[in-house]
A and B are shown apart, each in its own frame.
Chain A
């Protein structure tokens, strides 16, 4: 059984437990770094949109209905779902497909709820006599532990991220525009195979947060923040890095060291059976002990980490209150990114795989306060 067959099998087990006759997996062609894409996950094909579904019956072959029709050759080459239907009139052909598959009376689970406006939700529900049940969490849960393919892809994506960061260090210098830097680093990672990238690079003498690149030219004394998040064959990773243009001050080193200490304290708790909240609390404990307790909440930080698509994005956002229990081979980025009043915002974070004894960073070189003289 190959990995795609195993994914189908895992979803069918979850469907059986929930008493579902079929799953309808929907995508509207929009993609999000922190959302699962069940169609890509199940088929290996990333639809352009504006509409695509995979219908997975409990005991029959799945079918992929997609747009636009001119994307048929790519679908044929990429999709592991063999039954392909390019659609000109999505609504009509969806209804026809559900009817042909004999699912009008079926008890169906529907995913992609966040991508369905009222009209689309109505269109997807209309063919069925029983109202489809929301099934995003069912799929997220079934896919929460990463399979071998996902783990190999995230390792490759992380390698691209680290090479991208190394290229950034080579490229950046005072006088370069943030947006030029992003263009160069992004293209470099593209050439290495990044098929998408949640890439933010910005710099300031005192950062409030990382943000989209602007016209600002880098200056000596800047701290450059880089959130580098390429995907490889759909699987995202993320590394969070901070670089000083010039010699870092002792204060910068001390405060960045504090966040590194906090990160490792948290990573040690990213172990099977531990809650996400416990790992986050460990970070907050270290930061608070240094006198920055009031800065461990928004807007001084956002979250201590999060899952990353293509597959399940469990455990979601890592927050102090989360009672999500880690399991071996779950994947997320762990990042105690944080505003410190004396130095400004710092980025520090690694992609982590949950192990029995703690989190395992996928990076070859974990975050340091780097500098470019």
Chain B
């Protein structure tokens, strides 16, 4: 779901070593190094920041505050993080958020990368790169690639995505915690709305509950000014649209969980259709299944009249260190599901001028029907 990005993830920001002790990252790094060595690469350069921090967070536990942070991972020797250009006021705090010991600033991104590579004895040859094409602005890309002209740069974004696709047990555990927070946010919103609050007040209550429960980032869309569309918060309002329809997403320790809800959810025909579509998706989402078949299972249940709205808002997709990982649950998708993938499955039904009906589940793919990660708050 496309949400409104804040200028800053302003919630709880820590390295929780109970959930992710160092050995978790050592194992992830080992797997990535194995991939690099298998393809003759001597190091990996990962750029991350903004909405696209997944590879850096996967390897270093860092959800960067800066627009661009770089991890340099040699196949031998200590990794380094370039977490700022110039200053360095933030470095002591960043060091508390990652297991990587070498956290530094650099005069420029490209120069910093070259310096670390040379310090680690990597002076030429193939080097894997990730996030370069997606994250770096065109002009900065030229500067960085120019500085790295002595190396053969090999894009490995897809290979890293393949490694991250199957969630590790500790990742599932982090997502269950994120799901618990999103349920608390949901309950807070429903309670505020139930007390007669406006849709905006319910949205603010959800944000407050999520942040005070430890969310790092919170996104809320709901039927704020009109009944039949989801909007981001833009200012106070006393408008009440019944039912309250919302999409809530929470990031906790890098991992996302989301929830689409309608409250009160009456047993209307549309609600039953939505529930039945969601159940069909859950049933179809299993190891080896085509993402397209999961989508088609839902579309069969909800019928043609809701198809357009459901597809406009999307049926969900992969979720984890990003709110929208592959695969996308879409009738056009050619992806297949794999065991231990985590998916956000959702349905949004409605007609112009009428309230939306939203339902969702957060699931883990297995050999049988997908199992929910959402539990009571």
Which residues of A are in contact with B by a Cβ distance under 8 Å? 29-33, 46, 48-50, 67-74, 77-78, 113-121, 178-180, 182-184, 186-187, 190-193, 195-200, 208-209, 211-215, 231-233, 236, 298-302
A70 touches B229 (CB 8 A): yes
Q: Measured between C-beta atoms, what is the minimum distance from B199 to chain A in Å?
A: 13
B7 is contacted by which of A31, A71, A178, A302 (Cβ under 8 Å)? A31
A212 touches B2 (CB 8 A): no
Q: Measured between C-beta atoms, what is the minimum distance from A195 to chain B in Å?
A: 5
B212 is contacted by which of A72, A115, A184 (Cβ under 8 Å)? A184
Q: Measured between C-beta atoms, what is the minimum distance from B273 to chain A in Å?
A: 19
A70 is contacted by which of B141, B209, B313 (Cβ under 8 Å)? B313
B3 touches A211 (CB 8 A): no
Q: Could you list 7 A-B pairs, sorted by A, with CB under 8 Å?
A: A121-B137, A180-B212, A183-B210, A190-B207, A209-B89, A298-B87, A299-B87
The 7 closest A-B pairs by CB, nearest first: A183-B211, A187-B208, A212-B13, A183-B212, A179-B12, A298-B87, A211-B93
B11 touches A121 (CB 8 A): no
A31 touches B312 (CB 8 A): no
* Closest chain A residue to B141, Cβ basis: A118
B12 is contacted by which of A184, A209, A213 (Cβ under 8 Å)? A213
A198 touches B7 (CB 8 A): yes
Q: Is B129 an interface residue (CB 8 A)?
A: no
Q: How large is the interface on B (under 10, 10 to 19, 20 to 34, 35 or more residues)?
A: 35 or more
Known contacts A33-B8, A182-B10, A198-B7, A191 near B137 by CB under 8 Å: no
Known contacts A187-B211, A214-B12, A31 near B137 by CB under 8 Å: no
Which chain B positions have C-beta within 8 A of A191? 201, 204, 236
* Closest chain A residue to B205, Cβ basis: A187
Q: Measured between C-beta atoms, what is the minimum distance from B193 to chain A in Å?
A: 15
Which chain A positions have C-beta within 8 A of B367? none
B2 touches A32 (CB 8 A): no
A117 touches B137 (CB 8 A): yes
Q: Is B134 an interface residue (CB 8 A)?
A: yes
| Measured CA separation A273–B221 after assembly (Å) | 45
A197 touches B6 (CB 8 A): yes
B4 is contacted by which of A48, A72, A77, A120 (Cβ under 8 Å)? A48
Q: Is B77 an interface residue (CB 8 A)?
A: no
| Measured CA separation A302–B137 after assembly (Å) | 24
A68 touches B2 (CB 8 A): yes
Q: Measured between C-beta atoms, what is the minimum distance from A287 to chain B in Å?
A: 16
A298 touches B89 (CB 8 A): yes
B214 touches A179 (CB 8 A): yes
B235 touches A193 (CB 8 A): yes
A190 is contacted by which of B96, B137, B233 (Cβ under 8 Å)? B233
Q: Is B226 an interface residue (CB 8 A)?
A: yes
Besides A71-B2, A212-B93, 4 other CB < 8 A contacts? A33-B7, A68-B2, A200-B10, A233-B235
Q: Which of B120-150 contact A (CB under 8 A)?
A: 133-139, 141
A182 touches B87 (CB 8 A): no
B5 touches A49 (CB 8 A): yes
Q: Is B225 an interface residue (CB 8 A)?
A: yes
A116, A212, A236 — most chain B CB neighbours (10 Å): A212
Which residues of B are in contact with A by a Cβ distance under 8 Å? 2-14, 50-51, 65, 67, 86-93, 96, 133-139, 141, 201, 204-205, 207-214, 225-226, 228-236, 309, 312-313
Known contacts A113-B138, A116-B138, A215 near B232 by CB under 8 Å: no
Q: Measured between C-beta atoms, what is the minimum distance from B170 to chain A in Å?
A: 19
B14 touches A46 (CB 8 A): no
| Measured CA separation A211–B13 after assembly (Å) | 9
A214 touches B13 (CB 8 A): yes
Known contacts A48-B2, A198-B10, A117 near B234 by CB under 8 Å: no
B88 touches A186 (CB 8 A): no
A69, A117, A182, A214 — most chain B CB neighbours (10 Å): A117
A49 is contacted by which of B2, B67, B86, B207 (Cβ under 8 Å)? B2
Which chain B positions have C-beta within 8 A of A187? 204-205, 207-208, 211
| Measured CA separation A209–B6 after assembly (Å) | 22
* Closest chain A residue to B237, Cβ basis: A193
A70 touches B312 (CB 8 A): yes
Q: Measured between C-beta atoms, what is the minimum distance from B313 to chain A in Å?
A: 6
A195 touches B14 (CB 8 A): no
| Measured CA separation A300–B7 after assembly (Å) | 24
* Closest chain A residue to B213, Cβ basis: A183
B11 is contacted by which of A48, A49, A179, A193 (Cβ under 8 Å)? A179
* Closest chain B residue to A208, Cβ basis: B92
A32 is contacted by which of B7, B87, B139 (Cβ under 8 Å)? B7
Which chain B positions have C-beta within 8 A of A77? 225
B139 is contacted by which of A72, A113, A209, A211 (Cβ under 8 Å)? A113
Q: Measured between C-beta atoms, what is the minimum distance from B363 to chain A in Å?
A: 24
| Measured CA separation A191–B201 after assembly (Å) | 7
| Measured CA separation A74–B37 after assembly (Å) | 50
Q: Measured between C-beta atoms, what is the minimum distance from B157 to chain A in Å?
A: 12
| Measured CA separation A113–B142 after assembly (Å) | 13
| Measured CA separation A193–B238 after assembly (Å) | 12
Q: Measured between C-beta atoms, what is the minimum distance from B298 to chain A in Å?
A: 17
Which chain A positions have C-beta within 8 A of B229? 70-74
A197 touches B10 (CB 8 A): yes
B10 touches A212 (CB 8 A): yes
* Closest chain B residue to A73, Cβ basis: B229
Known contacts A121-B138, A191-B204, A31 near B6 by CB under 8 Å: yes
Which chain A positions have C-beta within 8 A of B50? 30
| Measured CA separation A301–B141 after assembly (Å) | 29
Which chain B positions have C-beta within 8 A of A236? 7
| Measured CA separation A68–B4 after assembly (Å) | 11
Which chain B positions have C-beta within 8 A of A211? 13, 90, 93
B89 touches A30 (CB 8 A): no
Q: Measured between C-beta atoms, what is the minimum distance from B366 to chain A in Å?
A: 31
A186 touches B208 (CB 8 A): yes
Known contacts A186-B10, A195-B235, A214-B14, A298 near B88 by CB under 8 Å: yes
* Closest chain B residue to A189, Cβ basis: B204
* Closest chain B residue to A115, Cβ basis: B137
| Measured CA separation A236–B7 after assembly (Å) | 10
